[in-house]
């Protein structure tokens, strides 16, 4: 049987109710004890690297998680990471970049209700995650949640309370798990060896535009961050003209070597800045990056992965448009 390591990080699945709300308190062994049936099809072990609400996750936690996977990589056939749902999409995307082309599966899961509650979704999610991690078809970074198998760069949380909390954005689920059986729609080719990256640039920020947004806000983002993700309207439209003055701000910071990615606030179908003048004018004037169908989570974490490696515009562009775990489509 395959050896699977459970890496516990906290989240709702590990929480108890306290006077101030849910608090992660259940440890790795406690989580494992809730799904004794997994011992029938794999050899599970468990470690705890931190126990936090995922709202409090930082890039330092991502480095700690990737380091733990690297340290235990040769000893196990797969990994299950228990994580809070609120930032699970960010963490799954980040680990997709920090541990690339893993022939061994790295499966993220969690729950909308604590695992020790009678009506929890935690037990089935955790059981399904072990089942997938122990399968022959699994590889790379995925989220397994409510029967869906989602590539780590395509997932987004779309519901705050319902069990069906995650969807795969602009890309089909890799498969589903029904009645303890895996139905694999898309099989990721397995590589010989993973590539580990343990450096991140946490100075990447997302600015979502609203009508009347002030140029001073964009200027401050560029001052603070090495990379700015600017989320515009529709197909990637960014306001032009004297009222906003965004072009002048972007021009001044481009000369100082800052990286700009333009994306859209619309969740489905991505952006295409060539459709309207308010997109094409900006794209033709500046050396910016266009996100196309990438999710917010993937854009932000990919820049964090890229910028410690290089600040050269051509090299940043090459790495940004390198497809990793289905993050860029077509």
Question: Are 33 and 137 within one domain?
Answer: yes
> Over 80: is that where the pLDDT of 248 sits?
yes
Instruction: Round the average pLDDT of the chain to a whole number and report it.
Output: 95
* Alpha carbons 233 and 219: distance in angstroms, whole number: 19
Mean pLDDT, residues 226-242: 92
Q: Are residues 304 and 175 in the same domain?
A: no
pLDDT of residue 114: 95
What Å distances lie between residue 297 and 89, 139, 176, 183, 214, CA to CA? 6, 21, 22, 26, 24
Res. 61: pLDDT tops 90: yes
pLDDT at 79: 98
Q: Is the pLDDT of residue 204 over 70?
A: yes
Specify the pTM.
Answer: 0.96
50 and 168: one domain? yes
Judged by phi (left if over 0) then psi (alpha if -120 to 50, else beta), residue 153 lies in alpha
**CATH number of 244's domain:** 3.40.50.40
Poorest-confidence range of 19-23, 113-117, 126-130? 19-23
What 3-state DSSP class applies to 2? strand
User: Count of CB atoms within 10 A of residue 317's CB?
Assistant: 15
In the chain, the number of structural domains is 2
> Are residue 162 and residue 119 in the same domain, yes or no?
yes
pLDDT-derived band of residue 330, with 50, 70 and 90 as boundaries? Answer: low
Write down the pLDDT at residue 18.
81
Nearest of 93, 96, 105 to residue 4 by alpha carbon: 105
Structure confidence at residue 282 (pLDDT)? 86
Alpha helices, H only, the chain: 28-33, 59-72, 88-98, 122-133, 215-224, 246-254, 277-285, 296-306, 313-320
In the listed set 174, 196, 218, which residue is the last one of a domain according to the structure? 196
pLDDT of residue 277: 87
Residue from 9, 12, 109, 259 carrying the catalytic annotation = 12
Note the pLDDT of residue 68.
98
Query: What CA–CA distance (Å, rounded) separates 88 from 328?
Result: 19
- Residue 37 pLDDT: 97
Asked whether residue 329 is assigned to any structural domain, the reply reads: no
**pLDDT grade for 206, boundaries at 50, 70 and 90:** very high
Q: What is the DSSP string of 71-109?
A: HHGGG-SEEEEE--STTHHHHHHHHHHHEET-SS-EEEE
Residues 73 and 220 placed together within one structural domain of the fold: no
Domain extent at residue 18: 2-196
281 and 144 within one domain: no
CATH number at residue 10: 3.40.50.1170
Share of the chain above pLDDT 90, in %: 86
Is the pLDDT assigned to residue 161 strictly greater than 90?
A: yes
The end-to-end CA distance of the chain, in Å, is: 38
Residue 12 known to be catalytic: yes
CA distances from 123 to 1, 128, 145 (A): 21, 8, 11
Residue scoring higher pLDDT (47 or 274):
47
- Average pLDDT of 48-67? 97
62, 112: one domain: yes
140 Ramachandran zone, left/alpha/beta (phi>0; psi -120 to 50)? left
- Give residue for tokens 């999710």: 295
Alpha carbon distances (Å) from 120 to 13, 15, 20, 37, 198: 9, 12, 20, 16, 35
Q: Are residues 182 and 212 in the same domain?
A: no
Tell me which of 177, 196, 215 is where a domain ends. Answer: 196
Distances (CA, A) of 311 to 27, 61, 286, 308: 41, 24, 16, 8
Flag whether 73 is in a domain. Answer: yes
Q: What gap in Å lies between CA 54 and CA 221, rounded to an integer?
A: 24
Are 230 and 187 part of one and the same domain? Answer: no
Residue 276 has pLDDT above 90, yes or no: no
- Closest Cα partner for 125 from 140, 114, 136, 141? 114
């Amino acid at each position: 049987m395959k050896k699977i390591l459970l890496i516990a990080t906290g989240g709702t699945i590990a929480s108890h109710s306290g006077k101030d709300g849910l608090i992660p308190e259940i440890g790795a062994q406690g989580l494992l004890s809730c799904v004794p049936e997994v011992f029938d099809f794999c050899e599970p072990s468990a470690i705890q690297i931190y126990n936090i609400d995922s709202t409090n996750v930082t890039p330092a936690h991502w480095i700690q998680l990737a380091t733990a996977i690297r340290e235990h990589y040769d000893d196990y056939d797969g990994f299950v990471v228990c994580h809070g749902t609120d930032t699970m999409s960010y963490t799954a995307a980040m680990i997709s970049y920090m541990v690339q082309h893993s022939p061994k599966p790295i499966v993220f899961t969690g729950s909308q209700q604590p695992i020790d509650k009678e009506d929890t979704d935690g037990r089935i999610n955790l059981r399904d995650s072990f089942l997938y991690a122990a399968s022959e078809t699994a590889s790379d970074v995925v989220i397994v949640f409510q029967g869906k198998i989602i590539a780590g760069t395509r997932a987004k949380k779309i519901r705050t309370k319902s069990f069906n909390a995650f969807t795969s954005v602009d890309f089909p689920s890799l498969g589903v798990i029904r009645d303890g059986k895996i139905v694999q729609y898309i099989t990721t080719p397995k590589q010989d060896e993973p590539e580990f990256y343990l450096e991140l640039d946490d100075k990447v920020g997302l600015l979502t535009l609203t009508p009347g947004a002030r140029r001073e806000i964009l200027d401050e983002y560029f001052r603070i961050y090495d990379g700015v993700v600017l989320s515009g309207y529709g197909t990637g439209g960014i306001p032009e003209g004297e009222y906003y003055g965004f072009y002048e701000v972007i021009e001044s910071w481009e000369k100082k070597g800052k990286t700009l990615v333009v994306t859209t606030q619309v969740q489905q179908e991505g952006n295409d800045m060539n459709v309207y003048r308010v997109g094409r004018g900006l794209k033709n004037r500046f050396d910016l990056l266009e996100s196309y169908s990438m999710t917010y989570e993937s854009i932000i974490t990919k820049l964090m992965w890229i910028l410690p490696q290089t600040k050269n515009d051509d090299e940043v562009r090459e790495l940004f448009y390198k497809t990793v775990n289905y993050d860029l489509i077509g």
